[in-house]
Amino acid sequence: MEKALLPDGSPDRRNSEVRLVPAPENSLCFENAAGLVESAQSLLQQHPAELVVELGQVELIDSSGLRALLHIRKACEAAGVLFRLGSPTECVDRIIAMSKLNGFFGIPYRRRAARPVEPVAGLDLQAPGWKISEYRAVSDPSVISSLRERAARAAGEAGAEGETLCDIQIAVGEALTNAYKHGSPRKGISQIQMRCMTCPAAIVVEVQDEGAVFDPDDASTPEPHKMRDHGMGIYLMREAMDVVEFESDCPGNRVRMIKWLRDGG
């Protein structure tokens, strides 16, 4: 643990307290990430020696949450305050590992287990046996978490658990966040559709929005520490899911994501 330094390099002796930033329960996502940054910044006003963002309750984090953490870290750096993540959960570990930020946050890189599931050849979505649930919603931040939870529930019912379930939640969350942020020209009126199809072998999630056509290949490998405002979502989706396909369904875009399930086959 390094000593806190002031911007001029001299050790800071003003305050040696450690302040905990309480992260929201359950999820640190698109809808509450901004709140976390605000509370961290208000704590920074008190010039603590160290700021710890307590993530023990965070079951789910997405790119917005990750960006919030990066934001806080930068602010700490600027204020000369030490920054640390407190007891990150599996999901937080996953997303940090996926975005290759372990070093940045000082978290040891945990090697992922080799993918145990073989892809199913010739996936027939029309075949009987698929459980299909369809949703249609107006673009609203509250709807995103609700839809993500429903997808997670469908995945859970199909047998996904642990890291796989975490991946699915991250990817679906990113897809929905993208649909809200970029695919809804009229917030609150534009509609987002989601279709979850599950069978023992796989879960397929389709998210459709009303946004303008875009080229998913433009989203190259991002560099999150550069604090770019976007570009993380598609990268994370591709990392988290086994198949990610984009279709332009004018007007609108559709992303189809497939995750092979561990006990399928």
Partner 1 sequence: MGINSSVRAVWDQLSAGGLALARLFKLRSIRSKLILALLGAVAPALLLHVWDEVRCVGRSAAAERAYDTLMICLSLAAAALGLAIVFVAANRLAHPIRRLAHAANAMSVGDYRKRVKLHTTDELQALAESFNALGRSLMKHEALVRHQAEMLAGMAEAARMASSTLHLVECGRVIAKVMCSHLGARDATVFRALTGEGEMKPIGRCGKRARSVWRLVARRVAESGEQLMISDRGAAQPGTRSAEEGILVGVPLSAGDETVGAIVARFEGVRRGDLQPGSVRGDILHTFGIHAAAAISNAEVHTQSEEYSEVLEEWVDHLSAVMQVADAISPSLTLDETLEALARATAAALNADECSIFRPDREGFLVVTACTNPDLQPMATAKFRPDEAETGRAFLEKRTVVCRDLRRSKFALTRRRAEESGMRSVLATPLMVGDGAIGVIRVASARPRQFMPREIRLLTSISLHTAVIVRNADLYTRESSIAETLQSNLVSEAPEECRGLRFASRYIPAWDEARIGGDFYEVTPLPDGKVGVVIGDVSGKGLAAAIHLAACKYMMKPLMLAHPDDPAEVLTQLNQALNYYFNGSFFVTMFYGAIDCETGSILYANAGHLPGLLISERGKLHSWLSGTGGPLGAGENWSYQTQRATASPGDVLLLYTDGVTDVPVGNCVLGIEGLENIVFEAGQCPVSELLGTVCDRLAGDAGAVQRDDIALLAASFEEVGVSRPALLGGIGGKGSLARW
User: What is the per-residue DSSP string for 104-117?
Assistant: HHT-PPPPPPPP-P
The only residue of 45, 126, 142, 220 in contact with partner 1, by rule CB under 8 A: 142
Q: Which two tokens stand for residue 117?
A: 């599931």
CA distance 53 to 72: 9
Q: Which of 23, 27, 101, 260 binds partner 1 (CB under 8 A)?
A: 27
β pairing state of 18-22 and 50-54: parallel
Q: Which of 22/216 has CB closer to partner 1?
A: 22
Which is closer to partner 1, CB of 79 or CB of 147? Answer: 147
Spell out the residues 6+ positions from residue 147 whose beta carbon is closer than 8 angstroms to its own: 135, 137, 172, 176, 192, 194
Is 54 near partner 1 (CB under 8 A)? no
What contacts 215, CB < 8 A, 6 or more positions away? none
Instruction: Give yes or no for residue 134 binding partner 1 (CB under 8 A).
Output: yes
Taking CB under 8 A as the binding criterion, the range among 42-50, 144-152, 203-211, 246-254 that sits at the site for partner 1 is 144-152
By CB under 8 A, residue 119 contacts partner 1? no
Backbone angles phi, psi at 253, to 5 degrees: -125, 150
With contacts defined by CB under 8 A, name the span among 76-84, 110-118, 143-151, 203-211 that binds partner 1: 143-151
User: How far is 248 from 226, CA to CA, in rounded Å?
Assistant: 30
**Choices 42-50, 129-137, 213-221, 241-249 (CB under 8 A): range interacting with partner 1:** 129-137
Per CB under 8 A, contacts with partner 1 among 59-88 are: 59-60
Position 131 contacts partner 1 (CB under 8 A): yes
Both ends of the chain: CA-CA distance in Å?
A: 47
Among 191, 216, 225, 248, binds partner 1 (CB under 8 A): 191
Under the criterion CB under 8 A, does residue 187 sit at the interface with partner 1? no
Q: Is 160 in the site for partner 1 (CB under 8 A)?
A: yes
Hey, what's the torsion of the CAs at 153, 219, 108, 74, to 10 degrees?
Answer: -110
| CA atoms of 179 and 158, how far apart (whole Å) | 25
CB distance 182 to 255 below 8 Å: no
- For residue 157, the minimal CB distance to partner 1 (Å) is 5
Scanning residues 220 to 259, which ones bind partner 1 (CB under 8 A)?
Answer: none
CB 63 within 8 A of CB 55: no
For position 143 contacting partner 1 by CB under 8 A, the verdict is: yes
Residue ranges binding partner 1 (CB under 8 A): 25-27, 59-60, 131-138, 140, 142-143, 146-147, 149-150, 152-153, 155-157, 160-162, 165-166, 191
